[in-house]
Chains A and B, each alone.
Chain A
Amino acid sequence: MGNQKLFKGSLQTIILKLLAQNDKMYGYEITQKVKELTKGELKITEGALYPALHKLEADGLLDVEVAKVGNRLRKYYKLTEHGTKETANKLEEMQEFLKTMQHLVNPKFSLE
């Protein structure tokens, strides 16, 4: 998939946005949700997801909960208060970025 590189820089924002909508999620669930929402267009690789989650956790944006599910332990991530605020900031940044890219890729010329 050629456009994976474009998504790479947005991984943290994607994770934060999903957690803002879903209260708490575990790693595998995040990969599947992204696949489902983008109809397979974007696949978060396992090697990128966990480092991103651990970084967000270390930065205090995510909190962790562990539950025993069947015969194994499952680690759930959820937004902290700081994480919720940061999600709003990151989404705003993303909107700005998209707008700028739109101007660059598809400039509208006007006679002024």
Chain B
Amino acid sequence: MKLTESHIQRLYKFTREHFVYHYDVQTELVDHLANDIEQIWVAQPHLKFEKARDISFKKFGVFGFMDVVEKKQKAMNKHYRKILWRFTKEWFTMPKIITTGLIFMLFFIVLQLKHSFLILGTSFFILAGYDVFLFVKEKIKNKRKEKKQSEKKWLLKEMIGESRRGFSVISFINIFNIINILDLDFYTLPLFVIAILAFAATFTCIIYHVSWAVLPSKAEELLIEKYPEYSLV
């Protein structure tokens, strides 16, 4: 006996009820449960759908789908980092390396100024403020959108949307704190230390730009690349 469309939808609901919220993870589990239920029905054709489903679910162990979800999250984090690195690398090749060089020089020069802390601190605060503003704006927009339609959730899509915010705000605040705690005058440091600091600041700016602007603008493309099923649903 084969499962009907209604059974499949019930299995999707079942995975949601067991803390699997992303469509990409749900799909694989639904197919697995469906195959197993059909197999169970071969031996016990009169067994109710729910009973067969529960027998199948028990095979996932006491933690149910949690292990699968957790490991999937880890694997996707790795995938996200790989994408981030792929686009960050571009800034160290022609022609973008020219911009990278200019940013580096800017930091290198500013760090040698007497009031570099004040300049950098103020810039970071303005950027962090702007970032929080954008974050809140997008949250409100998404809330409205969610109300309008119950969109399918994709793990990578959420990462592209959320990780950048976490990264940017936290990193800006951290950088400011480190500067504050160190309480040192950059212009008194040897030139090679200033160069290292300038490089670190440049690198942070690039990662921030990639995660904040580049990846979200390429979201659709990256999702199709990662999820062959993205265009099927």
Q: Which residues of A contact B (CB under 8 A)?
A: 26-28, 32, 45-48, 50-51, 54-55, 57-59, 64-66, 68-75
Check A71–B61 contact: CB distance below 8 A: no
Chain A residues, CB < 8 A from B8:
71-72
Chain B residues, CB < 8 A from A27:
28, 31-32
Check B75–A47 contact: CB distance below 8 A: no
Chain B residues, CB < 8 A from A54:
68, 71-72, 74-75
Subset of 17 A-B contacts with CB under 8 Å: A28-B31, A45-B61, A46-B59, A47-B60, A47-B61, A47-B67, A47-B68, A50-B72, A54-B68, A54-B72, A55-B74, A58-B78, A65-B228, A66-B228, A72-B8, A72-B30, A75-B229
B131 within 8 A of A: no
Most buried by B among A57, A65, A68, A69: A57
Determine chain B's interface SS by DSSP, over half rule: helix
Q: Which residues of B contact A (CB under 8 A)?
A: 2-5, 8, 27-32, 34-36, 39, 59-61, 63, 67-68, 70-72, 74-76, 78-79, 227-229, 232-233
Chain A residues, CB < 8 A from B32:
27-28, 46, 50
Given contacts A45-B61, A51-B72, 20 further A-B contacts (CB under 8 A): A27-B31, A28-B36, A45-B59, A45-B60, A46-B60, A46-B68, A48-B67, A50-B68, A50-B71, A50-B72, A51-B67, A54-B68, A55-B71, A55-B74, A58-B79, A68-B232, A70-B2, A71-B8, A73-B229, A73-B232
Check A71–B3 contact: CB distance below 8 A: yes
Chain A residues, CB < 8 A from B70:
51
